Amino acid sequence: MAGNFWQSSHHQQWLLDKQDLIRDRQHDLSKLTEEEYQKIFNFFASIIQVLGEQLKLRQQVIATATVYFKRFYARNSLKCIDPLLLAPTCVFLASKVEEFGVISNSRLITTCQTVIKNKFSYAYGQQEFPYRTNHILECEFYLLENLDCCLIVYQPYRPLLLFVQDIGQDDQLSTYAWRVVNDSLRTDVSLLYPPYQIAIGALHIACVMLGKENLKPWFAELNVDMDKIQEIVRAIINLYEMWKNYDEKKEIQALLGKMPKPSPAPQR
């Protein structure tokens, strides 16, 4: 593991260019609009989040799993692997990398079955979780290959807490900004910007939402590219704007039906 972010594979290999990201999505964007594509990724981020919570994983593990998921599809079409298989595979791998401990195969599959049945029946109806342990293990090899074994993900949580400490401990601010960082996982910012910039963007949004005008001088003294921070803020605000008019429970079934799919379906 690299001792710091600047020497890490995260910085050297996995901060992508926005134009490259758009180009690599062209196959999927020929079948889906950009907004539909983002809604589908929101949905699977929710599956990863709920799976992680049911398995009692730390937020760091859930965040790493979500970044793995986004990195895979940054380089591959949705038709390469069913996202419903890749989501638990990312959770399985992230729990090992983040030294949470290995989730037993049977527990992972049972939790997936329960979560899909109880929490996401509005998307899958009566359909059961169709995958078994052998599918997860096979998918894990494919995921590792596509991530180029770059498994250490630097998250914005640590820099966020350091920034809040520098500002002067403010529990309300840190709680709100932490939630914004969680929300940022549902955008592309983790693929495009260093974690410390995402942390500053989250703090910026939290300060505006909480009306903390007195922190303007703190932001002014930062030696950072504020244009990049504004891009991050805009991406997260766009997510919030989308949520205002989006009823996932009504729309997601049609979107999943429209999504490019792998073939053939797995054998039980």
Q: Is residue 259 part of a domain?
A: no
> Are residue 138 and residue 224 in the same domain, yes or no?
no
- The pLDDT > 70 percentage for the chain reads 93
**Domain-ending residue, one of 101, 116, 147:** 147
> Are residue 171 and residue 201 in the same domain, yes or no?
yes
Q: Which residue has the higher pLDDT, 7 or 211?
A: 211
**Domain-ending residue, one of 116, 147, 178:** 147
Q: Is the pLDDT of residue 102 over 80?
A: no
pLDDT (average), residues 82-102: 90
8 A C-beta contact, residue 39 and residue 248: yes
CATH number at residue 99: 1.10.472.10
> Are residue 130 and residue 203 in the same domain, yes or no?
no
Ranges 166-170, 180-184, 189-193, 220-224: which has the least confidence: 166-170
Q: Is residue 163 part of a domain?
A: yes
Q: Is the pLDDT of residue 114 over 70?
A: yes
Q: pLDDT tens across 8-58, in order?
A: 667 666 677 788 888 889 889 999 999 999 999 999 999 999 999 999 999
> Are residue 139 and residue 182 in the same domain, yes or no?
no
Q: Is residue 95 part of a domain?
A: yes
Q: What is the DSSP letter of 130?
A: -
Q: Is residue 7 part of a domain?
A: no
pLDDT (average), residues 192-198: 94
Q: Is 127 left (phi over 0), alpha (psi -120 to 50) or beta?
A: beta
> Are residue 47 and residue 104 in the same domain, yes or no?
yes
Q: pLDDT tens across 198-216, in order?
A: 999 999 999 999 888 788 8
Q: Is residue 260 part of a domain?
A: no
> Are residue 122 and residue 43 in the same domain, yes or no?
yes
pTM of the predicted model as reported, rounded to 2 decimal places: 0.92
CA dihedral defined by 83, 89, 95, 96, rounded to 10 degrees?
Answer: -140
Domain that holds residue 205: 156-245
CA 212/CA 100 separation, integer angstroms: 36
Q: pLDDT tens across 179-192, in order?
A: 999 999 999 999 99
The predicted pLDDT at position 268 comes to: 45
Q: Rg for the chain (alpha carbons), in Å?
A: 19
**Domain-ending residue, one of 95, 114, 147:** 147
